[in-house]
Amino acid sequence: MYRNGHLGAALLLYAPVGFALIGAGHQGLALVGGAVVASLATLPDCDHSLPFVEHRGPTHTLAFAALVGAGVGAAGHFAAGLVPGYDAAALSGFGFAVGALAVVSHLLADGLTPAGITPFWPLSKRWFSASIVRADNWLANQLLLGLGLAAVGAVIVLAR
C-alpha cells in the first residue's frame, strides 16, 4: 500500500486502543499513542532508501515490529519522569505496544497486496498474501484512509 493506505490502516487498528484509553480516563495518552502510530505507519518503507535491503524484506517483519516497539518503549521509559501520573513500566509498555502496532498495521496492509510479506523472517521464509488489491490502487488506499479516519471519528463521538 501507499502512504494514505498505511496511515488509514494504522488509525483503524489503533482506534479500539484509543477508545479503551479514553474510557479509562487517559485522554492524553490516547492522543499521544495515536500520534505515534500515525507517525510510524510508513516506517517499514524506509527500506526503499537503505542500500542492500530489499523492499518488503527485514523491515516488513514481526521482528522489526518488536524492534520498533522496543525503541518506542525505551523512549516511554525515559519520558516517565516528564509525564506525571505514569511510571516508567507503564509508559515503556505502552510505548512498546504502540510502536509494534504501527509496524503490524503496515504489515497487514501490505499483506492485502499480491506482493505480500514474509512476516516471520528470519525464522521462516513463508510468504503471506491475501492478494486482494495492488499496492498502487488509488481507490484502495483512499478507502483504507477513509476507514481509519471514520474509526477515529467514531471513537471521538462515542467517547464523549
Question: Is residue 53 very low, low, confident or very high in pLDDT (cuts 50, 70, 90)?
Answer: confident
pLDDT tens by residue, 79-128: 988 888 899 999 999 999 999 999 999 999 999 999 999 999 999 999 99
- Across the range 144-150, mean pLDDT stands at 98
Spatial CA neighbour of 46 closest among 3, 76, 109: 3
Domain that holds residue 28: 3-48+56-158
Rg from Cα positions in the chain: 16
Residue 54 pLDDT class (50, 70, 90 cuts):
confident
pLDDT at 55 over 90: no
Q: What is the mean pLDDT of residues 72-80?
A: 94
**Nearest 5°: CA angle at 87, between 83 and 91?**
75
Total domains present in the chain: 1
Please tell me the pTM assigned to this model: 0.94
* Confidence at residue 85, expressed as pLDDT on a 0 to 100 scale: 85
